[in-house]
Chains A and B, each alone.
Chain A
């Protein structure tokens, strides 16, 4: 608060004559030259949210399995001559990627989760869960961006592989490519469903927190008074 007041005082240095050392704001009614005071609590939140990456391990693993599956598929002829070894490796990488994105990185990086639940009378329904209250320990923007980019780009790449396999008639890889497409698209679909469902509930349940967490990047306005020479 003191900084804000001092800036306001300096801005009016030409007219008011109040010395910056006293810290007393000139006895004038607050006008448009006074700065907007920021709530320091949300400043801290903003700083923490802008912090680089809060879950480095989760981010690494989110990308590691997907990217290694793609790289192994592209370079399998270099690694080994055996089709079986490549097939099994890529399949295991795809499965680990599916499991880790679905169960771990989704909830750590963006606070979303989806699963299938069978209740007592045997009916199965799909549950899509989204973190309602965006807490300070929630995701940062960098993490969310990495998450969504990784989630969207990889199924597209596998679809490209599907067409290239089909047209170059290397049909023994087709099963693997189809498995890759279905696993990654399933995760993509699940998380988009979570995200779309979640936004409605966030807006309904905690409107104040939603707004407060999304405070636009306020910078103090430059003081409008004349700057003393």
Chain B
């Protein structure tokens, strides 16, 4: 019998790769069978990541890869609610103003997107809507601050404070949108 033992100081190592059975080619990125909770969590994480990015803008190229319109929807609704809450002293409940805010935001975003596409921009339609919608967050914060300032009083001082806050938040919005659009320029 041949001696098949090996000397003890030789280490034997290697890799065994076994081809996994017959997987259909579309199972690699197919999400057809994932459980529902995973779907929800995945989308929530994407939305949360974008909100964080608006608050702390730094350039990120992969952020817009999975765009979503949930953030813009929530922001639009909250902005419209706060804006129409201000005119609560009139007789009707500010219904038409509420719908106006919606129309202005969404129609305006669509027009801007179409404009950029016609000028040869490379960003896709929904990505642009996503950016414009998410960058409403600083304006919503400005709205909150202005409401609080208005509670304190409505003189010239409060007007100047509100003006400064709105301009600052507007600048923040612009900065955040450039961070979103880092690679698309």
Binding site for B on A (CB under 8 A): 81-84, 87-88, 91-92, 95, 99, 103-104, 107, 111, 113, 116, 118, 122-124, 129, 131-133, 172, 175-176
Complex Cα gap A174–B57 (Å): 36
Stretch at the interface among B2-10, B28-36, B132-140: B28-36
The answer on a CB contact under 8 Å between A83 and B32 is: no
The answer on a CB contact under 8 Å between A84 and B84 is: yes
The answer on a CB contact under 8 Å between A83 and B98 is: yes
Binding site for A on B (CB under 8 A): 24, 26, 30-33, 36, 39, 43, 64-67, 70, 73, 77, 81, 84, 92-96, 98-99, 102-103, 122-124, 126-127, 183-184
Complex Cα gap A188–B95 (Å): 30
Residues of B within 8 A of A88 (CB): 77, 81
Tell me the smallest distance from the CB of B104 to a CB of chain A, in Å. 10
The answer on a CB contact under 8 Å between B39 and A129 is: no
Complex Cα gap A116–B126 (Å): 9
The answer on a CB contact under 8 Å between B65 and A118 is: yes
Residues of A within 8 A of B66 (CB): 118
The answer on a CB contact under 8 Å between A113 and B32 is: yes
Q: A84-B95, A172-B99 are in contact. Are A124 and B32 (CB under 8 A)?
A: no
The answer on a CB contact under 8 Å between A122 and B184 is: yes
Complex Cα gap A87–B24 (Å): 45
Tell me the smallest distance from the CB of B54 to a CB of chain A, in Å. 19
Tell me the smallest distance from the CB of B36 to a CB of chain A, in Å. 5
Complex Cα gap A122–B126 (Å): 12
Q: A88-B81, A113-B32, A124-B124 are in contact. Are A83 and B93 (CB under 8 A)?
A: yes
Residues of B within 8 A of A113 (CB): 31-32
Contacts A83-B95, A129-B30 given; 17 further ones with Cβ under 8 A?
A: A82-B93, A83-B93, A84-B98, A87-B98, A91-B73, A95-B70, A107-B31, A111-B32, A113-B31, A116-B124, A118-B124, A118-B127, A123-B124, A124-B126, A131-B32, A132-B24, A132-B26
Complex Cα gap A118–B46 (Å): 14
The answer on a CB contact under 8 Å between B77 and A91 is: yes
Residues of A within 8 A of B26 (CB): 129, 132
The answer on a CB contact under 8 Å between B36 and A122 is: no
Complex Cα gap A138–B130 (Å): 35
Most buried by A among B32, B93, B98, B102: B32
- 26 pairs, CB–CB < 8 Å, chain A vs chain B: A83-B93, A83-B95, A83-B98, A84-B81, A84-B84, A84-B98, A87-B98, A87-B99, A88-B77, A92-B77, A95-B70, A99-B43, A104-B36, A104-B39, A107-B33, A111-B32, A116-B67, A116-B126, A118-B124, A122-B183, A122-B184, A124-B126, A124-B127, A131-B32, A133-B24, A175-B102
